[in-house]
Amino acid sequence: MQIHRFYTLRPKEVQAIYSSLGGKYGYRERLARNGNGSPRLYYLDGHPEIDRLRDRATDELRLNFEEFRNGLLVGITERTEPYILPLRPADIHNISIHLTRDVVEPVPGSFFDWLLRHGVALSIARFFARPGEHEAGRTELRLTTGGFSIHCWADAREHKHLLDFFGKSVVEGLVVKTAVQVAE
């Protein structure tokens, strides 16, 4: 499983990668499946080549999974340079999706603490939190294969979308859903 720099591939090479994954879905099939792309994810760690990209990058690496008829294509974006990584279901051991809750630890006497004690919604009060008083919840995804794993995250509100995406894809039997965990 090699990472390919998309703009250096010739059209026939791209077509060969697409056909090795069973080909793309047609327009009507994508509509019937409510799309074939995952929400945008942010890469954390796990794959040696992607780690090297992350270490060189000036911005966070963004990932997107695209569903094909017989596999997944991982799109990796480093600023403006796209890379692709084809994955076949036989190569994937499991996919775990975790949801972490918001961690709220207001400092006594802070404005954030005062807002919470007076009933202001957390969605508004969080803008006044000092560093360390509020950590937003997030959805973490770990895709494990024989040689590497891909660990990435998205906002907590994307949890249902990720479950739906992997639940309808060719790897639906490999998804491990876990209960809500408290962030560390």
Look at residue 74 and tell me if it is in a domain.
yes
| 6 vs 137: CA distance, rounded Å | 33
Q: What is the mean pLDDT of the chain?
A: 85
Look at residue 69 and tell me if it is in a domain.
yes
CA-based nearest residue to 81, from 62, 95, 105, 55? 62
pTM: 0.79
**Structural domain range at position 152:** 4-101+137-182
Look at residue 119 and tell me if it is in a domain.
no
CA-based nearest residue to 99, from 135, 149, 153, 164? 153
Report pLDDT digits (tens) over 92-103. Answer: 888 889 998 888
Report pLDDT digits (tens) over 37-90. Answer: 888 999 999 999 999 988 988 888 999 998 888 888 899 998 888 999 999 888
